[in-house]
Amino acid sequence: MTISHLLVTLAAAISSVQAHFAFARVRQNGEWLEPTRYIRNKTSPFTERDSPDTNYHVRRWIDPTYAVTDYPDSVRCGRDNMAHAADTEVLTIRAGDQLEFAHQRKDPEWPPEMWNNCPDERGSCDYASWNPEGYIHFNHPGPFIAHLSKVPEGQDIHSYDGSGEWVKIYTLGLELRDDQQHPIHWIPWNDEGIPAPFAFSVPKETPDGDYLLRADLVYTGVYEFNFTSFPSQLYPSCLQIRVESDYEGSLPKGIRIPEDMMHDSPGMNTSLSMYRFDKLDDDYVYPGGMLWTGKEMVVDKP
C-alpha cells in the first residue's frame, strides 16, 4: 500500500472523529503525582509537516499522531515534546516499582476537579450531567503499550529525543469473549465503558540509568483490498525517569520509533474483519515489537 493512498484516506478518518485523549499523569507505588510534572508536555496547536494529499496539519493537544505523515519527534513522545523536555522534571524510581498512567480527553488548562477526588482512586475524571460517575472512557479500541528507551551514554535526558532503541515492557491488549458475532474485546477500550487501569511494574532487571518511558494507545489501522483503508493512530506520552537498580546486565535489543511503528509494521493494522471485532487475524501480534519480561524477549500476541 502506498503512502499517498494512506494520506488520501487520512483526511476521511480524521473527519469522522471528535474528542481524542492523551496520557498526562503518572502514579508511583500508589501515589498520584502532579499532571505533566514528569511527562513531557505538548505544544497545542501545533502544525505537522506538510503532505501532498491532506490539509490536516494543525493538531490539538489531544489529537492523534500518524507515523506515516508526522514528524518523528511527534510519533515518539508527542507533538513538539522537545520544546518542553528541559522543563520536565525527572522522576526517580526503583527497578520493580509500579507505575500507572491516567489520561484526559480535554485540552489544558484543566481545573483541579478533573484530577482530584476521582472514582476508584483514578488519576483523572470528568464529572458532568451526562457522566455522573466521572469515568473518562476511550473513544478508540486498541492495545495500550509501554516502552523504555535508555538515554545514550554522554547524553542528557532533557535533550534526548528518543531516536535510540525502545524496548516494550508492557501490553494491555484484547481478550476473546464467548460471543459468536463479536468475540474480540479490547480491554483498554472496554466498549467505551469504564477503562481498565493502566498499571504495570518496571522490570526489576532494568539497569541503572536515565530513561524515557513511553505510554501509548494504538488505534490500529486497516488495510484490505477494495476497502477504503486508514492508517493507525498513536497517542504517545513520555515520562522522564531515573531508574535506581542493582542489576548489572543490559537491555535487550529494541525497536526504532517511528521506523518500526509504521502502518505496515507488525500489529499496526488489521483486517476489516478484525477491525469489526468479528475474528482475530491468525497472524496478529501486538504493535511495538517483542515484549521484554525482564527475563526474556517473547512474541507479544493475544
Nearest Cα neighbor of 229 from 185, 271, 177, 175 is 271
129-152 pLDDT, tens per residue?
A: 999 999 999 989 999 999 999 999
Indicate whether 223 pLDDT > 80. Answer: no
164-189 pLDDT, tens per residue?
A: 999 999 999 999 999 888 999 999 99
pLDDT of residue 55: 54
Cα–Cα distances in angstroms (integers) from residue 197 to residues 55, 112, 188, in the given order? 36, 21, 8
Number of domains making up the chain:
1
Domain hosting 279: range is 3-298
The mean per-residue pLDDT over the stretch 87-104 comes to 98
Q: What is the DSSP letter of 250?
A: -
Q: Residue 64 carries which side chain, given as an amino acid letter?
A: P
Domain holding 148: CATH number? 2.70.50.70
Cell of 210: 536515565
The mean per-residue pLDDT over the stretch 92-107 comes to 97
User: pLDDT confidence of 226, banded at 50, 70, 90?
Assistant: low
The mean per-residue pLDDT over the stretch 39-55 comes to 79
Q: What is the DSSP letter of 12?
A: H
pLDDT of residue 19: 62
- pLDDT: is 36 or 58 the higher one? 36
